[in-house]
Amino acid sequence: MSEEVEKLRVTKAFSLAFWGFAGALALATLLALKGGFESKDITAIVGIFTTLLGSLVGTLIGIHAGSQGKEQAEKRADEAKKTADRLQGQMTALTASTSDDVVKAAIAEFPQFFS
């Protein structure tokens, strides 16, 4: 994923969190000043709002973390494939340059390398 997309995602998540919690604070203050509401009512209303906000921000950050993990796993898989290909080439070269008895013993011992 490009650096610009990463920056945009983190910026949007931070912006959503900041303005969302500012809105929740403003809502709680407005309800408290207006009167007629008990503290449990204000808590319930603000709680619903902040739960939704937390879910949205968590999703944005979670997508970021998941894509980063995928990229790292793909990089490790590519490195493992390169290593396996290099070892297979070395085994092929080794079998071409050694005696038949050594080759037969190696094939019997490690058949997975000679398929």
Q: Say if CB 16 and CB 57 are below 8 A apart.
A: yes
Residue closest to 7 by CA, chosen among 60, 58, 70: 60
Each residue of 105-114: pLDDT tens digit? 778 878 887 7
Encoding tokens for residue 50?
A: 């902040």
Where do the structural domains in the chain lie, given as residue ranges? 3-82
**Mapping DSSP to helix (H, G, I), strand (E, B) and coil, where does residue 29 land?**
helix
**Does position 1 have pLDDT exceeding 60, yes or no?**
no
pLDDT digits (tens, 9 = 90+) for 87-108: 888 777 776 766 777 777 778 8
C-alpha count within 13 angstroms, C-beta hemisphere, residue 7: 3
What does the pLDDT look like over 19-77, one tens digit per residue?
Answer: 888 888 888 888 888 877 788 888 888 888 888 888 887 877 777 666 767 778 888 99
pLDDT of residue 57: 79
